[in-house]
Structure 1
Amino acid sequence: MKNTTTELYEYSYDEDEYPYSSNNPYNNDDAAPCSLWDTWTFVSNFAPLAYILVFILALGGNILVLCVIRRYRQSRHNPCSFSLTDTFLLHLAISDLLLAVTLPFFAVQWINEWIFGLLACKIAGGLFSLNVYCGVLFLACISFDRYLAIVHAVNISWRRKSCHAQLACAVIWVVCMGLAIVDMHYRDVVLLHGRNQQVCLVVFSQESSQQWQIGMQQVSLFLGFVFPLLVMLYCYICIFKALCHASTRRQKRRSLRLIFSLVVVFVVSWAPYNALRMTESLKTLGVIVNSCMLNKVLDVGILVTESMGLAHCALNPLLYGLVGIKFRRELAQMCKAVLGLHGCLGLDGWAQSRGSTRRPTGSFSSVDSENTSSVMA
């Protein structure tokens, strides 16, 4: 039974929700049988380090991807050289970069408190939610584009019309913006009971808002994990089957390793977080009995697994860029232009390593066909 004298708000987990016992009515440590002191201590120590580390890695990696894509596009006089996959990769890098930019704000929040005001809270929270959704959907688009290029050998003149990719990207941005607006609407700066610390959280102030809480969690689960995973699995399984009939044994092994790494990293990054979010929804609905231990496990677990998911935006440049021969070559050329020939001899050798004897004509991704021209090869 809820203690309404100590509960001022109902908190829900969103993509950037931080450990909070959403259905625990005892948020005041002085009166609570379920103390949150250990949880908040862990949050204050873990969250800033995790967010700053992801911020640094994602910032450097995605800026590098943007620079290489820009150089590649400017070096090609034919605009058709910029493929649909490169367009999706460009939007993916922008999305991951915007997501990373929000992390220092929340790191400061857990070092001290939220000092940036309500407007910044809503903007930062909205950007966070927006780019979590966009990032995983752009990954699904890259998978589907590779599927069309390799399995069905879609006509190159159609695939090179970047308007198709731009339209798909625009739809993704608009849909995700609508979901982020909901996050912004319910986001507020509140005072933590027992700690005298202001934090930026998603706040549900009415019992009727529980439907929104559960609904948003299910939408997040579907769009942020289940749907992209199904698309990736289907596309990459079909791609591998097609390559098995057309590639050498060495190429098959290489393609299998790449496909396996793409899927496994995505699952490992986001599956634990979404599993805990589903558990939290079941607890809210009363399907799972609420307890102090369960609240603590969810609070700490969601923070840790969310950080694993956020790390995916720092891994994307490695998975979708640096694995490509052409990407490494473009990176080496850019390095030569900036630092000079002698300063990048090592990088140039790395760019040529594991490459084929012919000049690649595919995309950044090693999982490609001969009928595409992209910086991901």
Structure 2
Amino acid sequence: MKNTSSTTNVYDYPDYDYNSTYPDDDNDDAAPCSLRDTWTFVSNFAPLSYILVFILALVGNILVLCVIRRYRQSRHNPCSFSLTDTFLLHLAISDLLLAVTLPFFAVQWINEWIFGLSACKIAGALFSLNVYCGVLFLACISFDRYLAIVHAVNISWRRKSCHAQLACTVIWVVCLGLSTVDVFYRDVVVLYGRNQQVCQIVFSQESSQQWQIGMQLVSLFLGFVLPLLVMLYCYIRIFKALCHASTRRQKRRSLRLIISLVVVFVVSWAPYNVLRMTDSLKTLGVIANTCGLNKVLDVGILVTESMGLAHCALNPLLYGLVGVKFRHELAQMCKTVLGPQGCLGLVGWAQSRRSTRRPTGSFSSVDSENTSYFSVMA
């Protein structure tokens, strides 16, 4: 299935190379391995997981965007946001664009790719673009929290989200450059052994292995290793700072939140990247290429890919609803839309959560007004 052909290889997440053939476990010159069982699993699992992630991510991230828009309208200066607020806005946009591409690939595995070559290139590029952007914005959020809490960056500087806009622009441009691979090399091809068209990346025979390994290493570094290192460093320093300035209850709450952010990120993306690395080692000949290994990689990469995609549906919960001020703004927005009686439960929940929160003063001499409106630590 994936990356087993010398002429057709893919590096991006939703694609599986069904034009390839498997070597027999006992005889490399024998007939290709059967893909029937793997096909049955993919056709049943992929559409369900893609549509589920699409629905959850669509609802959650639209909700985040609506709350941010409501808050921004109350602040007439576009640079009045804190840096974290701006990163959260771009994270929600990125996750939403990623989710929009999933129904296209769900239809592909239910039937076949029916949207044409142009849509194939656009959907693939959007997918790759926003996978990279999403994880890098998470790293930016953790770094901003680190600056605010550990180093107590000057309030007037941090209030100007125009600095964050510049950082976001750089991230979008870099990731857009990486996604151009999809624009140039994506094609609609017919699957091996099946009269079914799929949208996938197709490299020439001369450059297939070099491109495959190169893009997998770039994806591993930018999509997992770099964000994880930034998050670990920043959150460890944040927790140490909170230990010197918080009560025992606040320390426990902060530790639970920090652990949840890191653990969810690792659980979402680590298994996928481990399997991708295994696939690269197989391509290089370090690991023997067998039917059993290929089937494990095909099924495993699909399942772990879905775990990674689910992260874009979890981000609104992890980086939005955990904030007290965010929940309060959400409750007020709900009250405005549905009326006082329609949102009593949500308003009461937000108020009760806020009333039980003790004043924390400042962390590392950071004024309470400097706390991000949508901050993880708010």
TM-score normalized with structure 2 length: 0.91
User: Which 10-residue stretch deviates more, 325-334 or 12-21?
Assistant: 12-21
The 5-angstrom pairing of residues 72-87 of structure 1 reads 72-77=71-76, 81-87=80-86
Counterpart among 2, 11, 16 of residue 14 in structure 2: 16
Shift of residue 23, structure 1, vs aligned partner? 7.2
Q: Which residue of 2 aligns with 1:4?
A: none
Distance 1:46 1:328 in 2: 34
Deviation at 1:12, TM superposition (A): 2.5
Separation of aligned partners in 2, 1:259 and 1:298: 32
User: After the TM superposition, which residues 49-60 of structure 1 pair with which residues of structure 2 at under 5 Å, given as runs?
Assistant: 49-60=48-59
Deviations 1:202-239 (A, max 9, x none): 11231323111100000000000000000000000000
Deviates more, 1:132-141 or 1:38-47: 38-47
Is the 8 Å Cα contact of residues 125 and 180 (structure 2) preserved in structure 1?
A: yes
CA drift of 1:129 comes to 0.2
**Residues 317-328 of structure 1 aligned to structure 2 (within 5 Å):** 317-328=316-327
Distance 1:130 1:342, change over 3 A: same
- Structure-2 change in CA distance of 1:198 and 1:181 (3 Å): same
Alpha-carbon spacing, 1:210–1:112, altered in 2? closer, same or farther (3 Å): same
Contact residue 12 and residue 22 of structure 1 kept, 8 A? no
Q: Distance in 2 between matches of 1:155 and 1:250?
A: 28
Q: Within 1, Cα distance between the matches of 2:191 and 2:20?
A: 13
SS in 2 for 1:343: coil
> What residue in structure 2 maps to residue 371 of structure 1?
370
The amino acid across from 1:17 in the alignment is D
2:329, 2:182 → 1: CA distance? 39
Q: Deviation string for 1:6-56 (max 9, x for gaps)?
A: x79422232332364867479xxxx83311111111110000000000000
* 8 Å CA contact 2:58, 2:99 repeated in 1: yes
1:194 deviation in Å? 1.4
Give the secondary-structure state (helix, strand or coil) at the position aligned to 2:217: helix
Structure 2 Cα separation of the partners of residues 239 and 360 of structure 1? 18
Residue deviations 1:173-205, cap 9 Å, x none? Answer: 000001000122221110012110000011123
Residues 31-110 of structure 1 aligned to structure 2 (within 5 Å): 32-77=31-76, 81-110=80-109
Q: Decide whether aligned partners of structure 1 residues 22 and 227 sit closer, same or farther in structure 2, where only a CA change above 3 A counts.
A: farther
The structure-2 alpha-carbon separation of the partners of 1:32 and 1:228, relative to structure 1 and needing over 3 Å to count, comes to same
Name the count of aligned residue pairs: 364
Shift in CA distance, 330/360, structure 1 to aligned 2, threshold 3 Å: farther
1:177 and 1:279 map into 2 onto residues whose CA distance is 27
- 1:221 alignment partner in structure 2: 220
Q: Distance in 1 between matches of 2:274 and 2:367?
A: 33
1:288-367 mapped onto 2 (5 Å cutoff): 288-356=287-355
How far apart are the structure 2 equivalents of 1:105 and 1:79? 35
Q: Which amino acid is the alignment partner of residue 288 of structure 2?
A: V
- Post-superposition CA distance 1:130-158 (Å, at most 9, x none): 00000000000000000000000000111
Greater shift after overlay, 227-236 or 351-360? 351-360
Q: Are the equivalent residues in 2 in contact too, given 1:21–1:296 (CA < 8 A)?
A: no
> Residue 354 of structure 2 aligns to a residue in which SS?
coil
**Unmatched runs of 5 consecutive residues or more in structure 2:** 25-29
Bigger shift: residues 177-186 or 73-82: 73-82
- Partner of 1:231 in structure 2? 230
1:289 CA displacement: 0.5
2:72 partner letter: R
Please name the residue that 1:178 is paired with.
Answer: 177
Equivalent position SS for 1:188: strand
Q: Assess if the C-alpha contact under 8 Å between 1:188 and 1:203 holds in 2.
A: yes
Is the CA contact (8 Å cut-off) linking 1:19 and 1:299 kept in structure 2? no
Structure 1 residues 360, 127: closer, same or farther in 2, change over 3 A?
farther
Cα offset, 1:105, TM superposition: 0.2
Query: Residues 25 and 190 (structure 1 numbering): CA distance in 2 closer, same or farther, change over 3 Å?
Result: farther
Pick closer, same or farther for the CA change 1:287–1:22 going to 2, 3 Å. farther
Q: Distance in 2 between matches of 1:292 and 1:334?
A: 55
Letter in 2 for 1:92: L
**What does residue 127 of structure 2 align with?**
128
1:321 shift after superposition: 0.5
2:265 maps to 1:269: no
Name the counterpart of 1:139.
138
Structure 1: gaps of 5 or more residues: 1-6
Query: In structure 1, what is the Cα distance between the partners aligned to 2:118 and 2:200?
Result: 13
Residue 246 (structure 1) aligns with: 245
Q: 8 Å contact 1:325–1:352 — kept in the other structure? A: no
Q: Percent identical across equivalent pairs?
A: 87
Displacement of 1:368 in angstroms is: 10
- In 2: Cα distance, 1:246 partner to 1:22 partner: 58
Aligned equivalents of 2:220, 2:6: Cα separation in 1: 28
SS of corresponding position for 1:189 = strand
- Cα deviation per residue 1:296-330 (whole Å; 9 max; x = unaligned)? 00011101000000000000000000111111100
CA-CA distance at 1:165 after TM superposition: 0.2
